[in-house]
Chains A and B, each alone.
Chain A
Amino acid sequence: GQNIDQPTEMTATEGAIVQINCTYQTSGFNGLFWYQQHAGEAPTFLSYNVLDGLEEKGRFSSFLSRSKGYSYLLLKELQMKDSASYLCAVMDSNYQLIWGAGTKLIIKP
């Protein structure tokens, strides 16, 4: 079967750096997405990786290793507003998105 694994919850301190990991086992690979979802709100797009390596976008970076079935989202200079759930999703060989359960990130002052 197809599977996406993410830690359920993480805690970090304001101003620090946090890395949220995502491992996947899917039938084929056509890209990996990270979305941010604040409580009670819609998921919003953060990043997309289809080739190995690091994609940087301001305070957020996302890394992909296709051979290891692994990605991470790196958040720098954490702010209180970064408290949210972070969803990892992989597009499989049928171009269907397989979603992880999300990682709830709690930022403490």
Chain B
Amino acid sequence: EAGVAQSPRYKIIEKRQSVAFWCNPISGHATLYWYQQILGQGPKLLIQFQNNGVVDDSQLPKDRFSAERLKGVDSTLKIQPAKLEDSAVYLCASTYGGSASGANVLTFGAGSRLTVL
């Protein structure tokens, strides 16, 4: 089966500019996650969708970050305006069911690396 697709792989922008990342999960996977991974740290959950509804966005900086999954399939994460501290890899992941388990493993995409200058 095809994996989780993400684009772009790399993006360099100036601070205060905007950027958007796209993710297409594994076909049939209802749950989609966006994570932020800063160099040397573990992934930090930004937002979790179940189909087209938001399950958890408690750690999403809503003054500058937004995400949508309008048709319950692919998703877009936007940052506007970007700050220097937003430099990170943005990982998209998906699972078939609601919560990850040994039988419902979280599968990640290759990530989008953002550099804010």
Contact = CB atoms under 8 A, between A and B. Distances in A.
Interface string B77-117: 00000000000000100000011111001111111010000
Interface in B25-59: 40-45, 56
The number of chain B residues touching the other chain, given as a range, is 20 to 34
A29 B33 CA distance: 20
A97 interface: yes
Contacts, number: 51
Contact of B42 (A50, A96, A101): A101
Q: Which of A4, A30, A99 has the most B CB atoms < 10 Å from its CB?
A: A99
B102 A100 contact: no
A87 B37 CA distance: 12
A91 B100 CA distance: 8
Given A42-B91, A43-B43, A89-B42, A97 B98 contact: no
Contact of A33 (B106, B109, B113): B106
Contacts of B109: 42
Contacts of B106: 33, 45, 97
